[in-house]
């Protein structure tokens, strides 16, 4: 299947090139191919990107052995490799996006009956119609409006990858219906409201709905106006804001009868009676601030089962445990005129006692942006302080290329 998908994409691309007298690519990072219909009834931009990553982790030995960090474990990885298509169909008011993941990490997790025992190729497949100046509706599979860091593209991150808060508590992608409202009440003040109803089991599920539906409501306020180039959802101060810019967001999510251990993520809970599943609620609060070369982003997450007990029981035995608890993440960076950036991040995870141990992480990063986020080298060093396990040190180096 993977070879067939790749072959179809490559054949279509080379067929397009062979039938054209000449092909002029747009500016670097703006897509490999930009197509506009002769009658302007559709457009399509095709792009690709990949991230090559090397990671080395040292684990602290017992104090009786001197407490040194030893036994380095190194991993070389194609972290992400993706094709993306976006544009409009029939009218500029009707936008679309289609994105597929080709690396093993992009496709993992689909080897169960809920996914028809198939890889999870499709990341995004949605259409959005702007039916009014302030109102739009979106339908399909894509990111839910949860924590800001999750909505930021993985190609636009300030660090090599997202924080531990995101990996434990985010609400990720799902298939649903989004209603979006934006307004400019006065002056530079901007507001945005998003309401979503979605299936509840994450992306690419084929076996129907486990449990019940999910609902997300998010509100944002930008008191000082728009960020340059949508910078409220781009890590780092790539565009140096000449005046202070701030975006504050709050999200509330309810996943009724959550079928997975982390709501939309993790493995499915193996229950014979769906009535034993519990409803998960998640609260997010976040902000993004930028001014000249400075950038700051903070996030808070609180995920809980409605009865405050994450343990799912069936036939007097444990069928599974939801990942619930609290997390905070704070990061800041400064971009120098030569496009080098230094950044720091602190993340604290406090899961419920029966779920996992507390986990604090301190990260220092150094980045070089050659062509913004489209061509960059990122490296960071993390100290992981675990409550009940040996501490760790991790070094990461990643090259990101995005056409």
Look over the chain and give the mean of its residue pLDDT values, rounded to a whole number. 92
Cα–Cα distance measured from residue 309 to residue 324, given in angstroms and rounded to the nearest whole number: 9
Query: Which structure tokens are listed for 381?
Result: 């060093």
Residue 5: is its pLDDT beyond 80? no
- Render pLDDT for 56-94 as a digit per residue (tens, 0 to 9): 999 998 755 567 888 899 999 999 999 999 999 999 999
Topology classification of domain 30-402: Porin (2.40.160)
Q: Is the pLDDT of residue 3 over 70?
A: no
Quote the pLDDT of residue 274. Answer: 87
User: Distance between CA atoms of 357 and 379, rounded to whole angstroms?
Assistant: 27
CB 58 within 8 Å of CB 392: yes
Global pTM value: 0.91
Tell me the three state secondary structure of residue 68: coil
Q: What is the rounded distance in angstroms from the CA atom of residue 221 to the CA atom of residue 60? A: 44
User: Are the C-beta atoms of residues 29 and 403 closer than 8 Å to each other?
Assistant: yes
Q: Is residue 142's pLDDT more than 50?
A: yes
Sequence-separated (6 or more) residues with CB below 8 Å from residue 254: 214, 215, 216, 279, 280, 281
DSSP string for residues in 85-119:
EEEEESEEEEEEEEEEE-SHHHHTT--SGGGTT--
pLDDT at 20 over 60: no
- How far does Cα 139 stand from its chain's mean position? 18
Q: Is the pLDDT of residue 21 over 50?
A: no
Instruction: Judge whether residue 1 has pLDDT over 60.
Output: no
Of 300, 305, 301, 308, the residue nearest 269 (C-alpha) = 305
């Amino acid at each position: 299947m993977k070879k067939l998908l790749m072959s179809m994409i490559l054949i279509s691309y080379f067929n397009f090139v062979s039938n054209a007298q000449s092909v002029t690519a747009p500016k670097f990072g703006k897509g490999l191919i930009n197509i506009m219909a002769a009658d302007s009834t559709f457009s399509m931009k095709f792009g690709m990107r990949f991230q090559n990553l090397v990671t080395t982790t040292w684990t602290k030995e017992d104090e009786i052995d001197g407490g040194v960090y030893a036994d380095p474990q190194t991993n070389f990885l194609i972290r992400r490799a993706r094709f993306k298509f976006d544009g409009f169909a029939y009218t500029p008011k009707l936008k679309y996006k289609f994105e597929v993941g080709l690396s093993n990490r992009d496709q993992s997790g689909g080897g169960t009956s809920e996914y028809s025992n198939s890889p999870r190729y499709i990341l995004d497949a949605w259409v959005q119609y702007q039916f009014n100046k302030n109102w739009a509706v979106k339908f399909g599979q894509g990111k839910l409006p949860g924590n800001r860091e999750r909505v930021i593209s993985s190609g636009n991150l300030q660090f090599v990858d997202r924080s531990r808060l995101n990996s434990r508590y985010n609400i990720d992608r799902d298939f649903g219906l989004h209603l979006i409202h934006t307004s400019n009440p006065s002056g530079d003040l901007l507001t945005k409201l998003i309401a979503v109803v979605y299936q509840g089991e994450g992306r690419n599920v084929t076996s129907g709905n486990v449990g019940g539906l999910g609902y997300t409501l998010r509100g944002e306020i930008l008191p000082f106006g728009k960020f340059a180039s949508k910078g409220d959802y781009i890590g780092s101060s790539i565009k140096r804001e000449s005046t202070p810019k701030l975006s504050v967001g709050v999200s509330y999510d309810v996943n009724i009868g959550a079928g997975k251990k982390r709501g939309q993520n993790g493995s499915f809970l193996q229950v014979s009676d769906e009535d034993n599943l519990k409803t998960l609620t998640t609260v997010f609060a976040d902000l993004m601030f930028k001014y000249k070369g400075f950038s700051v982003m903070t996030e808070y997450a609180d995920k809980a089962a409605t009865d405050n007990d994450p343990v799912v029981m069936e036939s007097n035995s444990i069928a599974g445990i939801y990942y619930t608890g609290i997390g905070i993440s704070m990061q800041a960076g400064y971009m120098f005129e030569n496009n080098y950036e230094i950044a720091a991040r602190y993340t604290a995870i406090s899961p419920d006692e029966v779920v996992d141990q507390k986990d604090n992480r301190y990260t220092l990063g150094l980045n070089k942006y050659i062509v913004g986020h489209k061509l960059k080298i990122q490296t960071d060093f993390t100290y992981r302080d675990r409550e009940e396990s040996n501490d760790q040190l991790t070094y990461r180096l990643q090259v990101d290329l995005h056409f």
